[in-house]
Structure 1
């Protein structure tokens, strides 16, 4: 019953079943397996697969004045029926229908709704009034309302802080890996997370004017503006139809043999041409899937093959999206590094801030156990104040004070240089004296630089980095991997606008990102590519291609595979046309009849399918992650051999 219901309700499943039935009856017709039938079994295939083609061709010609590949097939099919070549007619209809199913399957969009993005919209808000606090729906918030935001809560609307200080995780909007310190007068955005401290905000943008709603609308608009893929066979149809009819009429006039003329029409049907694109794309998608790359549509393969520009997000794409301790500098010779780490880790032990967690993780990696502080106080936007073993520990520039930092030229210069390099600087003071500095950064992926190099080798001449981070961080990361252009402090709409500008300049642009804030840019780009394992649901849904792991080293392979697929498609089309023209000559001399012409069709189609299937075996040994792994193995092997020699 479930199959029957699916057959009734799902058009694609119904078409697939009917096409399979057509193939079965063609098989029966060719081998005459049921001689008791009062009619040729090929009639079933003609009715099931042929009639829709004929009606589609007539509709396209009369209603839309459009010449498609179906028109040529319809003419050949009707001509074959006139001379009672039923198998030839059924076979042509079956191959065309099969090709159409394959093409529709590969071109079908896999993008789901924007529900994941919509789910980020906070549903409730705490309205602060003179009568007390009351919970209301976020949709009921009006401009000018005062809202209370507690730690861990999402900000329900865009607004301005009027009381309190905090750190805001606004990664879904800007992609910044480090929470941003906010105080009175600073703007906050809908959907971002209040990490520390109770704040009060005055609502500024509500409803469709909020930043998150604007992001949703940007994604919708960009998706609607994406042009649909056009069938290659239909592009050629405007040339093939008059040429095929001309050849057929010419053969009829010269030979006065209608069978030869119909044979010419049969061999000219673009069956192998129809299969040239979808079979190659399906093979490419299959190969990519085995490598952990999900390509959602055939159009994505075709467009990716044309890319000359790739735009990348920073956080989670070029970097790991995880903070780690990069460097430690100690200013007092009598303080050992292990003691310094233990002191700082103990002060940060109760911290929930990502910077504090990064320090604790580092101490754990060093095998150092942090003690419980006697006193711990996190001052939002300033730093940490703690007491460890009777000593007061201050961590952070603002809580220590710029004056104390500037009192030492050596410390001041080091802080400034470290900040310029794109790292977060945490000075550490012990009982009022600065004893050291901890530098924390979002670590660059090991394979990032080599990936950029490989992309340049395959002809991607324009490599752009867009990030919500500040200019110092952006330049530090971008220059270290040799990006051609770097843009900092980019909000979601800025990223989308930057990509649109590149496309307006004539570039074919691929966008590689991972966060919700990348969704509008992913949707705007010619091809959106998302980092799957660390990417957000909405980013994955918006993108055309998803790297299911966090290995950006697969990007050069993806570009190579798509370009190889495009070349394979062009080769398939060339061979298909060559076979067709050779078959027409043979038909003109009477060497082929409608049935043998249909078999030649099959041979051409089989060649196209086999040639496309070879894409499944395509491999690329230039993956940066594998190259790094091989180099490490080689170094390790050389070390082992050196030790053995000694």
Structure 2
């Protein structure tokens, strides 16, 4: 019941009422002072400031007492306590307007903070509002509408155009375009077909699709996203904890100075003014408002920051370490080169021979060649005979051609000679980090197909942007050194550490930290989780990264767009600068106000205006982070 009353009094409607009565009290004060008259203009049987004191002062008193009772240690002494003391001191000397003004402007500051926080939480509210409540399950050939809680893994669901997808799943029939903006920040719908994944909360734009549920309830991507954002709100940044501690010891210092001011001046008004202007409210507001605004800004752009601490530390990072596969690259093999060593055989023929021979293969390289041939609409021929030698290659009879597809050793074992030209081509492909499949007909090598991981197109610009911010980049990968060097050269990373086991990645990060570097690790795989935990700040590629990597990381990118990394760095830098500027501004305002109070140039009324104006400035400066452009 008491909390309801406090919430009612501190809400916007009652705060407006409090402001109205304070204004009624202010007008007579101004007329009397500037009009040089003693005419009493108050038509009420009581001083209107009392209404303001009751409405805005009771929540302030409640907060001060609550912190004394429930907070631990020095944190019992809070800024609310100092303002409450100042309010009662002003009442004691008969300056009801000053008492009401202190309480009212503190209420305004609290409303501004709440507004900023609510705006920052807009992304989370959008996520929660998008959580579907129902799904259309197919069972025994019939459709039935059920609640989202009833959907189980393995259920087949039908999603009609315009509907939200209720769970994570895989399309089993139909084609459509899906609006994934809430998950990835991508502005355009993504085309989806059979076998592709869809995510909970995203919107089916066009065609009807059937999906099989893979992650349901709390395990869905949307619910996981909501949990991560909630975690971010419950964690404080180190600067915020420091500000809280500073606020605690400033209170006794303020009381001491106020007592000394009274002792030396003999003027109780001066002592009360010191209490009013000394409150560190702006200092306390500086960090949480900036952190929440920045987290809200990041959520809009598909970057989930799990804690204010991670955001602050990211602003101090000077070294970013990248995994290669799945981070700088897409993590999938694709055909990059097709060469024919026989002028009578075209490159298309080489691809057709290899894809037809590999059609029954389970090897990833073989599957990649077959997939590429299908994309290029190259016709495949059913093999009459097929034999696979594990780790080496395959033999197949295709349209009366005896074909061998595999590595050098496999071809040599089957009597195929590898001449100097072929050896030179293979060495060239190895320097580029590419895997090679040789194709031979009978005893003659007729061609080669090279496959490579695909570099993300935005990777080079991302590294350039980080370099422009004086941020060092390092590649940490388990790949062969030649492969690592090739991809690092393509994106502009000069420092490469290759052929690393997971524990060696951890050692590499610890070595960088020992050199007094603040390190951010970016990865996506299970093997990256230890390194992510070791780094000062960790970022996971959320849309395709493993669950373990996402859980280990403090920041998750909900799209595969690496340009979000420079954005994150700029946002973090701006947040840290905003916090430092706000703290410096608040302390300067407090210092000047204290000096003016001791010089008796400020009274409780004007002192409250000066001090609380600083608090409002701090909150408004933080609010600007939410809509600032960092792209």
TM-score (norm 1): 0.67
Paired with 1:422 and 1:20, the residues of 2 have a C-alpha distance of 66
Look up the match of 1:87.
Answer: 100
Q: SS in structure 2 opposite 1:387? A: strand
Look up the match of 1:522.
Answer: 532
Counterpart selection for 2:495 from 471, 476, 485? 485
Look up the match of 1:383.
Answer: 393
Counterpart selection for 1:295 from 305, 308, 311? 305
Could you say if the C-alpha distance between residues 70 and 96 of structure 1 is closer, same or farther in structure 2, counting changes exceeding 3 Å? farther
Could you say if the C-alpha distance between residues 541 and 103 of structure 1 is closer, same or farther in structure 2, counting changes exceeding 3 Å? farther
Q: Is the 8 A contact 1:76 1:262 kept in 2?
A: no
Q: Is the 8 A contact 2:395 2:405 kept in 1?
A: yes
Look up the match of 1:330.
Answer: 340
Q: Is the 8 A contact 2:596 2:602 kept in 1?
A: yes
Look up the match of 2:20.
Answer: 31
Structure 1 residue 323: Cα displacement: 0.8
Look up the match of 1:578.
Answer: 588
Could you say if the C-alpha distance between residues 483 and 374 of structure 1 is closer, same or farther in structure 2, counting changes exceeding 3 Å? same
Q: For residues 131-280 of structure 1, what are the structure 2 equivalents within 5 Å?
A: 229-231=238-240, 232-237=242-247, 240-241=250-251, 243-280=253-290
Could you say if the C-alpha distance between residues 300 and 265 of structure 1 is closer, same or farther in structure 2, counting changes exceeding 3 Å? same
Paired with 1:104 and 1:500, the residues of 2 have a C-alpha distance of 36
Q: Is the 8 A contact 1:102 1:278 kept in 2?
A: no
Look up the match of 1:354.
Answer: 364
Look up the match of 2:137.
Answer: none
Structure 1 residue 104: Cα displacement: 10
Structure 1 residue 317: Cα displacement: 0.9
Structure 1 residue 520: Cα displacement: 1.8
Could you say if the C-alpha distance between residues 19 and 353 of structure 1 is closer, same or farther in structure 2, counting changes exceeding 3 Å? farther
Paired with 2:70 and 2:481, the residues of 1 have a C-alpha distance of 58
- The reply to whether residue 371 of structure 1 matches residue 381 of structure 2 is yes
Structure 1 residue 613: Cα displacement: 2.2
Look up the match of 2:423.
Answer: 412
Q: For residues 601-612 of structure 1, what are the structure 2 equivalents within 5 Å?
A: 601-612=611-622
Q: SS in structure 2 opposite 1:376? A: strand
Q: Is the 8 A contact 1:405 1:411 kept in 2?
A: no
Could you say if the C-alpha distance between residues 98 and 32 of structure 1 is closer, same or farther in structure 2, counting changes exceeding 3 Å? closer
- The reply to whether residue 545 of structure 1 matches residue 534 of structure 2 is no
Could you say if the C-alpha distance between residues 573 and 584 of structure 1 is closer, same or farther in structure 2, counting changes exceeding 3 Å? same
Q: SS in structure 2 opposite 1:451? A: helix
Q: Is the 8 A contact 2:336 2:452 kept in 1?
A: yes
Q: Compute the RMSD of aligned alpha carbons.
A: 3.7
| Cα offsets for 1:619-646 (capped at 9, x unmatched) | 245xxxxxxxxxxxxxxxxxxxxxxxxx
TM-score (norm 2): 0.68
Structure 1 residue 420: Cα displacement: 3.6
| Cα offsets for 1:107-146 (capped at 9, x unmatched) | 9xx9xxxxxxxxxxxxxxxxxxxxxxxxxxxxxxxxxxxx
Look up the match of 2:475.
Answer: 465
Aligned residues: 488
| Cα offsets for 1:87-107 (capped at 9, x unmatched) | 356458757877998999999
Q: SS in structure 2 opposite 1:276? A: helix
Look up the match of 1:78.
Answer: 85
Deviates more, 1:422-431 or 1:233-242: 233-242
- The reply to whether residue 496 of structure 1 matches residue 501 of structure 2 is no
Deviates more, 1:565-574 or 1:309-318: 565-574
Q: SS in structure 2 opposite 1:469? A: coil
Q: For residues 549-628 of structure 1, what are the structure 2 equivalents within 5 Å?
A: 549-588=559-598, 590=600, 592-621=602-631
Q: Is the 8 A contact 2:509 2:519 kept in 1?
A: yes
Paired with 2:415 and 2:482, the residues of 1 have a C-alpha distance of 24
Paired with 2:370 and 2:324, the residues of 1 have a C-alpha distance of 24
Paired with 2:425 and 2:323, the residues of 1 have a C-alpha distance of 29
Q: For residues 413-432 of structure 1, what are the structure 2 equivalents within 5 Å?
A: 413-432=424-443
Paired with 1:337 and 1:18, the residues of 2 have a C-alpha distance of 78
Q: SS in structure 2 opposite 1:401? A: helix
Paired with 1:42 and 1:377, the residues of 2 have a C-alpha distance of 90
User: Which sections of structure 1, spanning at least 5 residues, go unmatched?
Assistant: 8-13, 111-225, 622-646
Q: Is the 8 A contact 1:451 1:555 kept in 2?
A: yes
Paired with 1:263 and 1:379, the residues of 2 have a C-alpha distance of 89
Q: SS in structure 2 opposite 1:483? A: coil
Paired with 1:443 and 1:46, the residues of 2 have a C-alpha distance of 63
Structure 1 residue 242: Cα displacement: 5.8
Paired with 1:476 and 1:441, the residues of 2 have a C-alpha distance of 11
Paired with 1:620 and 1:573, the residues of 2 have a C-alpha distance of 23
